[in-house]
Amino acid sequence: MRPMHHIISTKEYTREMFDNILELAEKLEPVACGEIKSEIMAGKILALLFFEPSTRTRMSFEVAMLRLGGQILNMGSVEASSIAKGESLADTIRVISQYADAAILRHPREGAALMASEYSSIPIINGGDGAGHHPTQTLLDLYTIKRESHLDNLNIALAGDLKYGRTIHSLCYALSRYDAKINLVSPPELRLPDRIAEDLKMRKIDITITDNLEDVIEEVDVLYMTRIQKERFPDPAEFTSVSASMRITREMIQNAKPDMKIMHPLPRISEIDPDVDATPHAAYFEQAFYGVPVRMAILCKVLGMEDKI
Ligand code: NCD
């Protein structure tokens, strides 16, 4: 019997669940950077089902599996699969369940991963469902905060597209388990959806809302920037009007705390001036690396291998 464990959203996660994965990731870091060899996943196959573009999520799951001695089964592009003939997601999942031991799914429709989990006999990992959730990104974001800053008494700004940004939605729920102070920074059109703001209020989280980064930049420990999610705008004209409004430059961070860290799930478009990359504040490329040990930990968890680490 395979242990069954889907990863769909961070909403129901407790602090203990987050901490447990972060601890496993820490142990796996030497394997993630190739210092120590591992065969924990020998004989295991991870299916990659990407219905939307991806670089980091796809490749860091691939490298995580490969460095643990496992293998990858990639569905490839939607155009090259039977989806292009009109096959349903439910049928695709039923079939892939018989080929692989776990699957990572990225899909443009909110709720797709939850739906897939209902048809799957293997663990489904949500790699992003439309403007919904992105739980594995959140786990690596927490890990980055823990490594590069601190999770206790954290003062964080979440900036950019809070409306459509799924990384933000998942991160908000996670930060609520750490009693972080959250500063929401976005143009008024791109505020956090009401249902999430309500949930945070119920969890009694300390929140401020502004449309100006300069209001919070000097007080935060972490500035989490995000891309305006162009592909989710129903009206392209609306995108054009907000796209230039959030941009961080070297001048703007001059009076930030010396150990303030800037994070970004990437890809960045114009939200962070490349001049910022060489400052000690930039943590986004380290963040991309941390995706590897964290996704190793996630794979060990869903496949019931954590005792072997
Ligand atoms: C994010 C996503 O796909 O939601 N990318 C990622 O997984 N690192 C962020 C984005 O696309 O803006």
Secondary structure of residue 172 in the 3-state scheme: helix
- Would you say residue 2 has pLDDT above 50? no
Q: What separation in Å is there between the alpha carbon of 2 and the centre of ligand 1? A: 30
Percent of the chain residues topping a pLDDT of 70? 99
CA-to-CA dists, residue 23 to 26, 33, 294, angstroms: 5, 16, 9
C-alpha 127/C-alpha 54 separation (Å) is 9
Q: What residue's CA is closest to ligand 1, atom 3?
A: 128
Pocket test for ligand 1, best of 129, 133, 144, 167 (most atoms within 8 A of CB): 167
Contact call for residues 89 and 34 (beta carbons, < 8 A): no
Task: Enumerate the domain spans of the chain.
Answer: 15-133+291-308, 136-288
Question: 208: burial class by Cβ within 10 Å (0-12, 13-18, 19+)?
Answer: middle
C-alpha 265/C-alpha 167 separation (Å) is 7
C-alpha 284/C-alpha 304 separation (Å) is 30
Residue 79 pLDDT? 86
38-52, 77-91, 122-136, 280-294: the lowest-pLDDT one: 77-91
Q: What separation in Å is there between the alpha carbon of 1 and the centre of ligand 1? A: 34
Which residues are CB-neighbours of 37 under 8 A, at least 6 positions away? 31, 69
Same fold flag, 15-133+291-308 and 136-288:
yes
Question: 2 vs 234, which has greater pLDDT?
Answer: 234
- Would you say residue 193 has pLDDT above 60? yes
Query: Domain 136-288 falls in which CATH fold?
Result: Rossmann fold (3.40.50)
- Would you say residue 16 has pLDDT above 80? yes
* pLDDT bucket at 20, cuts 50 / 70 / 90: very high
Q: What is the CATH number of domain 15-133+291-308?
A: 3.40.50.1370
* pLDDT bucket at 78, cuts 50 / 70 / 90: confident
Q: Are strands 45-50 and 102-107 parallel, antiparallel or unpaired?
A: parallel
pTM value is: 0.96
For residue range 207-219, list pLDDT tens digits in order: 999 999 999 999 9
- Would you say residue 240 has pLDDT above 50? yes
Residue 208 pLDDT? 96
Q: What separation in Å is there between the alpha carbon of 308 and the centre of ligand 1? A: 31
30-44, 75-89, 151-165, 265-279: the lowest-pLDDT one: 75-89
Instruction: Tell me which residues have their CB closer than 6 angstroms to ligand 1.
Output: 56-57, 128, 134, 137, 166-167, 226-227, 265-266
Contact call for residues 144 and 263 (beta carbons, < 8 A): yes
